[in-house]
Chains A and B, each alone.
Chain A
């Protein structure tokens, strides 16, 4: 087995194991110190137990006063899915204390090993509570979309995550910076939207709407079906982060500026230092891909 820690195999995925996994992640979050993966407790491939851990964690935060304001879809790129050995995305929950305003400085000290990606955020005008929701339902239910920067973060040391780890850890969520230019979906080709994310005025990541499951609207339809099946359907007013449009980059002190063609732009400034130094985002190579 490739599990980094040994657990008694008969305990994997039991209610006790699910509570132990949640406790490990909660402790890491509170102490601002990363922890070992939780897949030893849940099994590497079972998503059910991992979502149970996620729900426990959300319930705990809601009991402590946080409010659910939306969801996020993760693993929306075929390359990332292949890396995780899955063929579907995953999802997490957005709480009110994760939402930041355009241009609002964000203290990196609230994160452990943050990374940044640019996305399309959907704001729903109606419930999407059917387990058979399709893209046309999403388009009719979407009040407007906004450009967004997502800060992803992992409580697991060194981002050493498999599918069970990231789901249990609320889909590696951190924070969301919402832009301020609402657009209705009418006439928008979300698949064709280009994305450019700059760090301190230098291009750091580029991508496009079609990188997100073919189109961000497809990701939202998938999410609506998945959460309806799990008994927590999408509600009017929720903010849905639909998934990354390009490669994520390390969140380092400085200015990040995302431009989504036709949707506007959104900025954030990171100050301070993350609790854990982020890993370098791209290995250096002399292999000359683009000449």
Chain B
């Protein structure tokens, strides 16, 4: 399929960059996220190739798990052909989600969290036992499906980056909320459903689940392939954020943010201006 070009070789990942640089970049990205202060792009200095970029991402996620965070899933990026073309990218990217990024459906998130957060409506899959089998049907690899909201937040100035930069930055992962889970068979009819992103009750973006790789179910083999290639673990019970169905919009300073997927459901969070960092 044109949306799912398998361009990667099957060689195992090998460090391509000095260990010192990997650790330094991971530390800088971690600090940028914790202090909510943007940093310069690695590519301004020297571009990261894919292997080096995933090395930085691995080191970055390790810093978070060393503090007690738990990896609870993965996310895909550049699942829209249009976005991928804008970036000159011919494959999707993968990042990790930790429990610290999770926001409960309906809960408040403090304003001022993040650097320049943007929100986008997504589809989430709950991985099932079949996920371990690379030959399983996509529908057998999932246990449930739900509407989701993702907050992305680049740790780089002006939200600008090249492919290596954004991979190193854990694919801009920042926060996510998942709506009510529906049984996996609901995913079979999700190829082209209306998706709306609402800010303060007003429709801000409208799109279709078809923007996610042509069919969100294609995120499953894509995640299996990328996880295998990049040494990420996919386990039953983990979450897979399949990709955005519309363009991302800046997170509001306050008020409700909701994603609605026709025939699937709705998820919302509230941005609270009370709390400050």
In the bound complex, residues from chain B placing their C-beta under 8 Å from that of A194 are 191-195, 208-210, 262
| Tally of A-B Cβ pairs under 8 angstroms | 114
With A194-B192, A208-B194, A208-B262 known to touch, is A290 a contact of B120 (CB < 8 Å)? yes
Size category of the binding interface on chain B: 35 or more
A284 in contact (CB, < 8 A):
yes
Secondary structure at chain B's binding surface: helix, strand, loop or mixed?
Answer: mixed
B:62-77 near A, CB below 8 Å: 77
- Note all chain B residues with C-beta closer than 8 A to A291: 77-78, 93, 152, 154, 166, 171-172
Say how far B26's CB is from chain A's closest CB, in angstroms.
Answer: 18
- B:32-57 near A, CB below 8 Å: none
Please determine whether B196 and A208 come into contact, CB atoms closer than 8 angstroms: yes
Q: Confirm or deny: A209 has a beta carbon within 8 angstroms of a beta carbon on chain B.
A: yes
- Residues from chain A with a CB closer than 8 A to the CB of B137 are none
Q: How far is the CA of A284 from the CA of B83 in the complex (A)?
A: 10
A4 located at the interface, meaning its Cβ lies under 8 Å from any Cβ of chain B in the complex? no
A:165-202 near B, CB below 8 Å: 189, 191-196, 201-202
By a CB distance below 8 angstroms, the chain B residues around A286 are 86-87, 160-162
Task: With both chains docked as a complex, state the minimum distance between the C-beta of A141 and any C-beta of chain B, in angstroms.
Answer: 24
Contact indicator A289/B118 (Cβ below 8 Å): yes
Contacting residue for A207 out of B87, B166, B207, CB 8 A: B207
Cα of A261 to Cα of B195 in the assembled complex, Å: 12
Which A residues, 73 to 128, have Cβ-Cβ distances below 8 Å to chain B? 78
Contacts of B135 in A (CB 8 A): none
| B171 CB contacts on chain A under 8 angstroms | 291
A290 and B210 contact, CB distance less than 8 A: no
Contact A209 B194 (CB under 8 A): yes
**Considering the chains assembled together, what is the distance between the CA atoms of A201 and B4 in angstroms?**
13
List, in ascending order, chain B residues with CB within 8 A of A191's CB. Answer: 194, 262
- Is B208 touching A290 in the complex (CB atoms < 8 A)? no
Whether A203 sits at the interface, judged by CB under 8 Å, is yes
A206 contacts the other chain (CB 8 A): yes
- Which of B14-22, B97-105, B179-187, B242-250 is near enough to bind chain A? B242-250
Task: Give A288 to B88 CA distance when docked, in angstroms.
Answer: 11
Distance between Cα atoms of A78 and B203 in the complex (Å): 9
Q: Which residue of A lies closest to B84 (CB)?
A: A290
Determine the chain A residues whose CB is within 8 A of the CB of B196 once the complex forms: 208, 210
* B270 CB-CB contact with A under 8 Å: no
Q: How far is the CA of A192 from the CA of B2 in the complex (A)?
A: 26
Interface mask (B1-35 → A, CB under 8 Å = 1, otherwise 0)? 01100000000000000000000000000000000
Whole-angstrom distance between the Cβ of A208 and the nearest chain B Cβ: 3
A214 to B80, CA, bound (A): 24
A288-B166 contact given A191-B194, A203-B3, A207-B208, CB 8 Å threshold: yes
Q: List 17 A-B contacts (CB under 8 A).
A: A192-B262, A193-B262, A194-B193, A196-B192, A203-B210, A206-B211, A206-B245, A208-B196, A208-B208, A210-B194, A210-B196, A259-B192, A261-B208, A287-B160, A289-B248, A290-B79, A291-B166
Q: A192-B193, A214-B203, A291-B77 are in contact. List 14 more A-B contacts (CB 8 A).
A: A191-B194, A194-B194, A196-B208, A203-B211, A204-B82, A208-B206, A208-B208, A210-B206, A211-B206, A286-B87, A286-B161, A290-B152, A290-B248, A291-B172
Nearest 10 pairs of A and B residues by beta carbon: A192-B262, A208-B194, A194-B208, A291-B172, A194-B192, A196-B210, A211-B206, A206-B208, A261-B192, A206-B211
